[in-house]
């Protein structure tokens, strides 16, 4: 499958985790790869790839998944839905390349990359086991969610591009649907990723135990060995 991407880390032995990173409008996979590179020392056995948007956006190397020109609350979902099959195909391509399935896959996105990551697991609930959404939102709030999925929303408290209220509404909708979600608000941060955001993401991937493990334990079950490949 031909698409713009930048391999940040490819372990010498078979990968145990797959971390896919998705940039915002007008950015590119090499630039987002700088963020992704900070995850490499923490997850040395992970295949880490920064993925470029599906279409150019202004002068090269800027890319995007969908145009934000004249985007509205009414047409945003349709634009996302139109390109979503390509996004899902890209994730599945790297799962096939790594030999890893959804349980070992984390999608990490900023801005439009976060939107696509959130919307992808709404469209295809078993696409991944973790989503890290930096300053993102849903086009339309989910009413159902895969309970084996854990979502981490990390948002700037002063974001002028995607207002914090979208993250709060997403958290409320996900909880209402029975989802496993965390929301961290980074005080004073605008539409950006800073050291605090990054540390929150790393800590969640390393230390936050998915809720479905507790649910399985309470019901007398236990995770299958294939499930314990996540990010703990």
Contact 107, 132 (CB under 8 A): yes
81 is catalytic: no
Work out whether strand 105-110 and strand 180-186 pair parallel, antiparallel, or are unpaired: unpaired
Q: Which of 50, 98, 111, 117 is catalytic?
A: 111
Q: What is the mean pLDDT of each run of 10 residues along the chain (232 residues)?
A: 92 97 98 98 97 95 96 97 98 98 97 98 97 98 94 98 98 97 98 98 93 67 47 56
Q: What is the pTM of this model?
A: 0.93
111 is catalytic: yes
What are the pLDDT digits (tens) for 16-36? 999 999 999 999 999 999 999
Domains of the chain, by residue range, sit at 5-227
Q: What local confidence, expressed as pLDDT, does residue 74 receive? A: 97
Q: Which of 3, 31, 191, 215 is catalytic?
A: 191
What are the pLDDT digits (tens) for 198-225? 999 999 999 998 887 766 655 665 544 4
**Residue 147 class from Cβ within 10 Å (0-12 exposed, 13-18 middle, 19+ buried)?**
middle
Contact 18, 100 (CB under 8 A): yes
Radius of gyration of the chain (CA): 17
Put the strands of the sheet holding 46-51 in their side by side order: 5-9, 46-51, 17-22, 105-110, 130-134, 150-156, 180-186
Does residue 19 have a cis peptide bond before it, meaning omega lies within 30 degrees of 0?
no
Q: What local confidence, expressed as pLDDT, does residue 226 receive? A: 41
98 is catalytic: no
Arch. (CATH architecture) of 5-227? 3-Layer(aba) Sandwich (3.40)
């Amino acid at each position: 499958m031909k698409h713009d991407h930048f391999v940040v880390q490819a372990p010498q032995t078979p990968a145990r985790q797959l971390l896919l990173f998705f940039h915002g409008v007008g950015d590119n996979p090499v630039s987002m790869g700088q963020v992704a590179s900070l995850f490499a020392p923490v997850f040395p056995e992970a295949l880490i790839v920064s993925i470029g948007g599906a279409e150019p956006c202004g002068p090269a190397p800027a890319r995007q998944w969908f145009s934000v020109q004249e985007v509205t609350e009414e047409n945003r979902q349709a634009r996302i839905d139109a390109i979503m099959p390509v996004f899902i195909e890209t994730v599945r391509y790297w799962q096939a390349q790594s030999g890893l399935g959804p349980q070992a896959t984390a999608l990490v996105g900023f801005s439009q990359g976060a939107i696509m990551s959130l919307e992808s697991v709404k469209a295809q609930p078993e696409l991944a086991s973790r989503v890290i959404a930096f300053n993102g939102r849903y086009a339309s709030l989910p009413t159902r969610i895969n309970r084996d999925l854990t979502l981490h929303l990390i948002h700037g408290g002063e974001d002028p591009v995607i207002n914090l209220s979208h993250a709060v509404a997403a958290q409320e909708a996900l909880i209402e649907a029975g989802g496993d979600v965390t929301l961290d608000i980074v005080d004073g941060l605008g539409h950006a990723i800073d050291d605090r955001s990054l540390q929150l993401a790393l800590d969640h991937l390393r230390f936050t135990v998915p809720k479905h493990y507790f649910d399985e334990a309470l019901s007398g079950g236990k995770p299958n060995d294939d499930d314990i490949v996540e990010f703990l």
